[in-house]
Amino acid sequence: MRYAVIAGVALLLAAPQLARADDTPEWKACISVTNSGAERLPACTAVIEGKTETGRRLAGAYCIRGNDLTETGELDAALADLNEAIGIDPTYACAFNNRGRVYNFKRDYDRAIADYDEAIRLNPRFAIAFNNRGDAWHKKGDLDRAIADFTEALNINPNYARALGNRGWVYYRKRDYARALEDFSAEIKIAPSVLAYINRGNVYRDTEELDRAAADYGMAIKLDPKDARGWRNRGLIRLFKNDNKGGIADYNEALKYDPQDVRSWNNRGQARMRVGDKKGAISDFRKALELEPGLKSAVESLKQLGAS
């Protein structure tokens, strides 16, 4: 089954100087933490093009617009904005952090780490920068440095749910299941989410606590019934427990919401084969092979069914 991976990025809006009595509606909309990115982008553009702001405030407008462009995947435009922000105010930690995120998305992890280093140098209490640098170390395969950075983020902000989830994921990769379980449980207590429940469910699954795993995947389903991950993970547990009809029901839902997941087709085929639905099993295995030619389990199952 496909594991659920935690992304190590965080939305970080700039924190420009305090509001002033003469702030324009565009400036207020640009810096608003309650507005969506779609609302902030044109407002920040108006601030920038209006040439009414200078210094940290102008850098803030570029930093916020760069952040929101990052969220829409416009990485080159975001990079240009964040370069502008840093050029205007090279002491602005937020801009270095946000530019590091762009490099992270571009998989240029060394540049990302360099920017996070500078953000942390400028603001040693910058928990988000520690978290994001930890993510970059994780992606470079340096798990111990990743854990150290996530831990520092949590020393600064013990209720930082994302850092808990990220550190838990690294512990999971190291097969330190006790610490992973502790972090995921703490994350769920602070900010329950589909991903947090799936990650903790994976720990329970891998330590053969199948009922607890199924319960966590069930909570993921409850939080978002249209997210296929909860259904397909619980479906696998049901197959492990020989509840083939229950597994089929779960995979039916999983495929409704993610029809491109090859493992769901293959696993439902296995369950159908177990309950004697030869035609359905053959159809599922062929669909799995259409998505992933050569998938060994599907090829072997079709041979077993005389349909290779």
Q: Radius of gyration (Cα) for the chain, nearest Å?
A: 23
Q: Count how many domains the chain has.
A: 1
In this prediction, residue 8 has a pLDDT band, given cuts at 50, 70 and 90, of: very low
| pLDDT over 60 (residue 45) | yes
The residue-averaged pLDDT of 112-138 equals: 97
**10 within domain boundaries:** yes
Cα distance between residue 64 and residue 58, in whole Å: 10
What range does the domain containing 21 cover?
Answer: 1-123
User: In this predicted model, what pLDDT tens digit does every residue of 237-253 receive, in sequence order?
Assistant: 999 999 999 999 999 99
| Per-residue pLDDT, 53 | 87
- Mean pLDDT of the chain, nearest integer: 92
| pLDDT over 90 (residue 10) | no
| pLDDT over 50 (residue 294) | yes
| Per-residue pLDDT, 285 | 97
**137 within domain boundaries:** no
- The CATH number covering residue 74 comes to 1.25.40.10
| pLDDT over 50 (residue 298) | yes
**141 within domain boundaries:** no
User: In this predicted model, what pLDDT tens digit does every residue of 142-175 receive, in sequence order?
Assistant: 999 999 999 999 999 999 999 999 999 999 999 9
Cα distance between residue 154 and residue 165, in whole Å: 11
Cα distance between residue 16 and residue 30, in whole Å: 11
Q: Identify which of 177, 174, 226 has the alpha carbon closest to the alpha carbon of residue 200.
A: 177
| Per-residue pLDDT, 232 | 98
| Per-residue pLDDT, 35 | 87
Is the pTM for the entire model greater than 0.85?
yes
Contact 164, 170 (CB under 8 A): no
**289 within domain boundaries:** no
**178 within domain boundaries:** no
The residue-averaged pLDDT of 107-122 equals: 97
**112 within domain boundaries:** yes
**Which 3-state string (H, E, C) describes 182-235?**
HHHHHHHHHCCCHHHHHHHHHHHHHCCCHHHHHHHHHHHHHHCCCCHHHHHHHH
In this prediction, residue 19 has a pLDDT band, given cuts at 50, 70 and 90, of: low
**150 within domain boundaries:** no
User: In this predicted model, what pLDDT tens digit does every residue of 176-195 receive, in sequence order?
Assistant: 999 999 999 999 999 999 99
**295 within domain boundaries:** no
User: In this predicted model, what pLDDT tens digit does every residue of 63-103 receive, in sequence order?
Assistant: 999 999 999 999 999 999 999 999 999 999 999 999 999 99
Cα distance between residue 198 and residue 229, in whole Å: 8
The residue-averaged pLDDT of 267-289 equals: 97
